[in-house]
A and B are shown apart, each in its own frame.
Chain A
Amino acid sequence: GAGVSQSPSNKVTEKGKDVELRCDPISGHTALYWYRQSLGQGLEFLIYFQGNSAPDKSGLPSDRFSAERTGGSVSTLTIQRTQQEDSAVYLCASSPQGSSNQPQHFGDGTRLSIL
C-alpha cells in the first residue's frame, strides 16, 4: 500500500520567507510525528499528533515553527521567517495508534535549504 507521502521533496527559499511542508500519513494511522534531520544534530523530534488530542509540541525549536493536522489526516508544518539554521531534512512518520511499541513509518522527507 501507499506509504507516508511528503511534499515538496525539495524546497529552496530565501531567508525571512515562510514555508509550508506537507505530510500525508498512511491511511488509517492516527499518530503522526514530525522530525528534523540536520548536520551535526542528527534526528530530532519536533511535534506529535494523536487523533483529536492536543499535540505534543515539546520539540519545536522556536515559536516560528507551528504545525496543524486537519481532519486527523494530512499535516502541515509551517516555518515563519526562515533562518539559515532551519536548513535540514524534515521527516514525517506515522503509526497506527501512537503506542510506544508500534514502529513508525517514515516518508522520504522534505529537504529545506535556506539561502
Chain B
Amino acid sequence: AQSVSQHNHHVILSEAASLELGCNYSYGGTVNLFWYVQYPGQHLQLLLKYFSGDPLVKGIKGFEAEFIKSKFSFNLRKPSVQWSDTAEYFCAVNEGGGTSYGKLTFGQGTILTVHP
C-alpha cells in the first residue's frame, strides 16, 4: 500500500522567508503527485501537480515542487512567503498508468503560519 509522509506538522515563518515543505511517498511504480492547499475556512484547492516530463513543476501563487524519483520525494517550495500563504498544505499521491484511477493517498498535512 502507498503511504505519504510530510515531515513537518507545523511551520512558522516570517513574511519574505523561503519555504520548503517535505513530502516523501512509498510506492515503487509510476505515480502522479499533487500538492493541495486548504486556506482557513475554505475547501481543498489544487496547488500544483506532476504527471510526467519536467520534474520541476510550477503552480499557482509562486509555488513550485520538484519530483526526485530516486528519493521518492516531491518537496514544495516558495522563495518568499506572504501572510496570505497561511494555510494547511497536503501532499497526495496516486498510482499512474492507464488502468488506474484517481484514489488519492494523502500525507498528514503541514500547517504553515506566516507572521507579517
Contact = CB atoms under 8 A, between A and B. Distances in A.
B32 A100 contact: yes
Nearest to B52: A101
Interface in B63-116: 90, 92, 94-97, 100-109
B106 to A, nearest CB: 4
- Report, as a range, how many residues of chain A touch the other chain: 20 to 34
Contacts, number: 66
Contacts of B101: 31, 48, 50, 56, 98-100
Contact of B96 (A44, A45, A101): A101
A80 interface: no
B54 to A, nearest CB: 15
B25 interface: no
Contacts of B108: 42
A107 B45 CA distance: 9
Sorting the interface of chain B by its residue count into under 10, 10 to 19, 20 to 34 or 35 or more gives 20 to 34
A86 interface: no
Given A43-B90, A48-B103, A56-B103, A100 B46 contact: no
Interface in B27-50: 32, 34, 36, 42-46, 49
B42 to A, nearest CB: 8
Contacts of A50: 101
Nearest to B101: A98
Contacts of B90: 43
B104 A45 contact: yes
B4 to A, nearest CB: 9
Given A43-B106, A48-B103, 19 more contacts: A3-B43, A4-B43, A31-B101, A35-B104, A42-B107, A48-B101, A50-B101, A59-B103, A98-B102, A99-B102, A100-B95, A100-B102, A101-B49, A104-B102, A104-B104, A106-B44, A106-B45, A107-B43, A108-B42
